[in-house]
Amino acid sequence: MEIRLLQPDDAVKYKELRLEGLRKNPEAFGSSYEEEVGRPPEVYGDRFKADNSFHFGAFEGGQLVGVVSLVRETGLKMKHRSNIYAMYVTEASRQTGIGKKLIGEAVEKAWSWEGVEQIHLAVMSENEPAKKLYSSFGFEVYGKERRALKINGVYYDEELMALYF
């Protein structure tokens, strides 16, 4: 298994994995399958080139099986913060340590950014495995957003977590 930064030529694989996540776990993402299915892969490739973000991928046998994105805030009053988004590991690769390695890479990268003091993320309240993973790195719940997402008439709460350096 290899963890590395995603490059523009990974955009097609990334889109396929992202669409899988949006289909299988729609409650885990703010975006939807319907919004992203028509988006060209180049949109993701362009994101991989941004100065304020890093997108890590976990590969097994050439297959992309997990991803996580780290984005630094750019505003003068917010640049001490970074955010984790779009964390997803395929069902077949869960419980193998891939998620832990991906979050470890994101945390390590955030620590390396001069001036970054904290990382924020949101996780579905019922997703105990993810909350346990984030807690193992020192993330703490600081709030709960009730009814954060609404999918087919069903509401989902999110817990807001942060890691302070």
- Ranges in the chain, pLDDT < 50: none
Q: What is the pLDDT of residue 7?
A: 97
Domain chopping of the chain, boundaries: 2-116
* Amino acid at residue number 2: E
Q: What is the pLDDT of residue 146?
A: 98
Q: What is the pLDDT of residue 67?
A: 98
Residue 126's alpha-carbon distances to 36, 73, 159, in angstroms, are 24, 27, 9
| Helix, coil or strand: residue 143 | strand
CATH class held by domain 2-116? alpha beta
Q: What is the pLDDT of residue 79?
A: 94
Q: What is the pTM of this model?
A: 0.94
Q: What is the pLDDT of residue 162?
A: 98
Q: What is the pLDDT of residue 49?
A: 94
Q: What is the pLDDT of residue 78?
A: 97
